[in-house]
A and B are shown apart, each in its own frame.
Chain A
């Protein structure tokens, strides 16, 4: 690289060009981003696109197998399964995004503080995080929802709490190795207070590995929310939600009505799969070193 190299595009254009490269470089990332956009599209426009009202029952058409009218069949009350699966995307995605955002913010703040200041901050937060990790996480989430009350908000809080240790640990490790790095020292010399050094200089550099954690956790959070609904906590019928639909549909599998549980289950699987694939791509996107 010499001084003679012409200037390259900067700012947003450079970011988009880099994004295009990341997608081209790895077809898996391309598929993951396409699926992610598809899921987001369903969440936003699902209720508009749904061919039937997801709550409207029609006893005359109960338990019909998939057909041209009802792509995913109908359930025991005659509701259209396709419409319900489509409409449920928004709720499931909202729960998991809110939960992951909450635990990302709280967990990374706690972990970054522990990694930067060490000492008693580290000792106290470290033990709290260990305590959370000591419980079987799903049982802990069940306990929290049962104790706080059976609402969607409480599912969000419970999912956020059980995900928090992962962010706290990753952030702590990533910040601790950069605490005495040259650029952190240089930032102090430039007149940045400790908080600024941490927030503006060290933490952004810890983002790439946190992004991988974020997308893995998204999948996990969807599964968790659906799991809680499956066992009857949180979202209540007749609200369309993948977990409840699988739970209700499970009773009918024995009698041959497989479509009730399979389609919401596939939707759940697709969402989890997408978020798990997204991790590497997100990391490549936020790491400036991958840009050349």
Chain B
């Protein structure tokens, strides 16, 4: 029997300002009927480009330069645009990364599904609505009759992704391509969406390609895994085998860098390093007392939270989107005024200074932040040098020459090569931008650093490096961290204590290991269960044993 999808020696080229660049080369894989293939790789590895090439929806300037793509015996490279139109949607369905961007914002979701059904002659104008409701019911949307009349902005992120899945599956395609279907969704929503996709593909006997950067996710849902790096497939093997005996060094590196239970911060790095010492907690630095925020529209985002961070201590604040963790950190950061409660920094109430005046306050420099999205947090018109110098200019009395020296010292401290200082953010990689953001936050020698998901937008291998950098800086400078994240496994690596937040309240607080090993609250347990974790590194155990056996 021939494979459903057969890609061989695929090469995709893009015409750019600096000549022709090949994004993908020598990519070959096959997909059998009913099989789920995981394509895993970091950003820029060409995994999305490969799937776009299969669908023939490459961006302007992109073209398939070489290779063969055949779907059920049909050569997709030779197919006309009209034939491709029939294949897309009816034969091959696709789920995109950002569900909100994939839906037409001004058309009701039921209608959008109806459009696809009519386009592929699966329904007539009269039956389209009923068929769309059926499609919504299939993706387990509650009350599909009412939801069919909703606009995308009226639905949550998880709900939008379900609609996109309904769209992709409406015409019963035989192949489903899911491009990072759960990026940006909470872990519990991610689990629900992935279980739904897995259940539907199994029930309908479909084949699927799951494109993801998350090894854990791929391990949990795929039969076979193809690992991509720099536009090439470096390894293809059944899931279990990939995790048990990674054949390629890059696969092993990826697995090592993934945060998982039992691993310590240094275990994530390629080259082992001694664990950075954690500073011994001192006196209370930040005391937050029954902090609450009610927005003008009556939404109670934070309903009275209290916590203490001691000098040199790291506290993790974990919760899903909408739980109030960002509102809490914004209030502590003094970007937002609380409705009630006190924020004491070193015994002084900084909550009484209005957020609008706090930038000129003498305590501004003592409390700084590393933002979630390094790209968004850097001014596109400022070079790295100017970005780091900005807080020095406003908050310190340093002269021009001292400032220049301090910027270079900061860059060295965070491991940013000095020649990159004159680049603009768009000329830097994700990891380099993260370093600029950290250097800027460190510029005023803060006592408390709030880390708002500082690695959420980074690849795992870079995440590992940045987390280790943060641990080194803490050991060196004795700062306190408030680490805000949705990922318990990442928080555990860096924090002494963890708070779990839900619906504006803290539901559980305690020692990081205890919360992870023996969660007391059912919500914490559901968070832990929902996070997909790759099987433990097989290579790690014997290595540790040998180390232990050695005299």
Residue positions of A touching B, CB distance < 8 A: 1-3, 6-8, 10, 21, 25, 181-183, 185-194, 196, 201, 204-205, 288-289, 291-292
Which of B91-99, B149-157, B267-275, B360-368 makes up part of the contact surface?
B360-368
Residues of A within 8 A of B17 (CB): 21, 25, 292
Residues of B within 8 A of A183 (CB): 376-380, 382
Once the chains bind, are A205 and B380 in contact (CB under 8 Å)? Answer: yes
Once the chains bind, are A3 and B417 in contact (CB under 8 Å)? Answer: yes
B505 CB–A CB distance under 8 Å: no
Chain B, Cβ-Cβ closest to A3:
B417
Further pairs besides A2-B429, A25-B17, A185-B371: 18, Cβ < 8 Å:
A1-B427, A1-B428, A1-B429, A3-B417, A182-B372, A186-B371, A186-B378, A186-B437, A189-B333, A189-B335, A189-B368, A190-B395, A190-B443, A191-B395, A193-B359, A196-B394, A205-B379, A205-B381
The 8 closest A-B pairs by CB, nearest first: A191-B394, A182-B377, A190-B391, A182-B376, A191-B395, A183-B379, A7-B419, A190-B390
Q: How far is the CB of B115 from chain A (nearest CB, A)?
A: 29
Chain A, Cβ-Cβ closest to B390:
A190
Residues of B within 8 A of A292 (CB): 17-18, 426-427
Chain B 521-537: CB-based contact to A (< 8 A → 1; otherwise 0): 00000000000000000
25 contacts between A and B (CB under 8 A): A3-B432, A10-B422, A21-B17, A25-B17, A182-B376, A182-B378, A183-B376, A183-B377, A183-B379, A183-B382, A186-B437, A189-B368, A189-B391, A190-B359, A190-B395, A191-B364, A191-B365, A192-B359, A192-B390, A194-B356, A201-B379, A204-B381, A205-B380, A205-B381, A288-B381
Residues of B within 8 A of A8 (CB): 423
Residues of B within 8 A of A204 (CB): 381
B369 CB–A CB distance under 8 Å: yes
Known: A205-B380, A205-B381. Is A186-B440 also a contact (CB below 8 A)?
yes
Partner of B369, one of A181, A189, A191, A288: A189
Residues of B within 8 A of A2 (CB): 429
Q: CA A256 – CA B47 in complex, angstroms? A: 70
Q: CA A204 – CA B423 in complex, angstroms? A: 17
Chain B 401-436: CB-based contact to A (< 8 A → 1; otherwise 0): 000000000000000010110111011110010000
Once the chains bind, are B371 and A182 in contact (CB under 8 Å)? Answer: yes
Once the chains bind, are A288 and B424 in contact (CB under 8 Å)? Answer: yes
B508 CB–A CB distance under 8 Å: no
Once the chains bind, are B379 and A189 in contact (CB under 8 Å)? Answer: no
Q: How far is the CB of A6 from chain B (nearest CB, A)?
A: 8
Residues of B within 8 A of A190 (CB): 359, 390-391, 394-395, 440, 443
Once the chains bind, are B360 and A193 in contact (CB under 8 Å)? Answer: yes
Which B129-150 residues have a C-beta within 8 angstroms of A? none
Q: Give the residue among A3, A7, A182 with the most B Cβ atoms within 10 A.
A: A182
Q: How far is the CB of A3 from chain B (nearest CB, A)?
A: 5
Residues of A within 8 A of B417 (CB): 3
Known: A186-B371, A288-B381. Is A191-B360 also a contact (CB below 8 A)?
yes
Q: CA A3 – CA B462 in complex, angstroms? A: 14
Once the chains bind, are A192 and B440 in contact (CB under 8 Å)? Answer: no
Q: CA A291 – CA B423 in complex, angstroms? A: 10
Q: CA A185 – CA B450 in complex, angstroms? A: 13
B172 CB–A CB distance under 8 Å: no
Chain B, Cβ-Cβ closest to A14:
B422
Q: CA A21 – CA B379 in complex, angstroms? A: 23
Q: CA A1 – CA B377 in complex, angstroms? A: 20
Q: How far is the CB of B374 from chain A (nearest CB, A)?
A: 8
Q: How far is the CB of B377 from chain A (nearest CB, A)?
A: 3
Chain B, Cβ-Cβ closest to A202:
B379
Residues of B within 8 A of A196 (CB): 394
Known: A288-B424, A289-B426, A292-B427. Is A192-B379 also a contact (CB below 8 A)?
no
Q: CA A114 – CA B170 in complex, angstroms? A: 45
Q: How far is the CB of A250 from chain B (nearest CB, A)?
A: 47
Residues of A within 8 A of B422 (CB): 7, 10
Once the chains bind, are B376 and A189 in contact (CB under 8 Å)? Answer: no
Q: How far is the CB of A203 from chain B (nearest CB, A)?
A: 10
B373 CB–A CB distance under 8 Å: yes
Q: How far is the CB of A79 from chain B (nearest CB, A)?
A: 50
Residues of A within 8 A of B382 (CB): 183, 201
Residues of A within 8 A of B360 (CB): 191, 193
Residues of B within 8 A of A10 (CB): 422
Residues of A within 8 A of B365 (CB): 191
Residues of A within 8 A of B395 (CB): 190-191
Residues of B within 8 A of A3 (CB): 417, 420, 432
Residues of A within 8 A of B368 (CB): 189
Once the chains bind, are B379 and A187 in contact (CB under 8 Å)? Answer: yes
Residues of A within 8 A of B426 (CB): 288-289, 292
Q: How far is the CB of B318 from chain A (nearest CB, A)?
A: 21
Known: A182-B377, A288-B426. Is A188-B359 also a contact (CB below 8 A)?
yes
